Amino acid sequence: MRAFCIGIGLIALLGCGHEQGAAEFVVRVGQERFVVRIMSPDQIETARQILAGRLSQRIISGELRAGDGGFNRDPQTGRRWSWHLDPQTVVFAEVAIELCDGLPSHVEANLPYWLGTVRRFCPWSAFVEREL
């Protein structure tokens, strides 16, 4: 997509940051943080409602993918995670199974297990800290 944006000129290039309509949020789990990109307008609105205090915190959940996706890092430490949540699958749930609960560092430390067996990350104690 980026090559296409560059190839069609300056006007198009201005709109080629991260995916159009996406929003990024910092999520805190204990003392760790990660960045999630959300594509669904409904889920973006849910995150913003949570930040504004109009909705209670929910469990953020999404399918795990290898690599940082170009956005997943801990903004406090600058550490880039070697995994990310697929932006198309991110949802805010009221309940989730225990299997996908954990810290970002748990996923990092045993990435093959999380990607191949668990396949989702849904940290129960996470909360949306801010929008980027």
Percentages of the chain per state (helix, strand, coil), in multiples of 5: 30, 30, 45
Encode pLDDT of 7-53 as tens digits: 333 223 333 345 679 999 999 999 999 999 999 999 999 999 999 99
Read off the pLDDT of each residue in 68-95 and give the average, rounded to a whole number: 96
pTM, full prediction: 0.83
Q: What are the residues whose beta carbons fall under 8 Å from the beta carbon of 65, sequence distance 6 or more?
A: 83, 84, 85, 86, 115
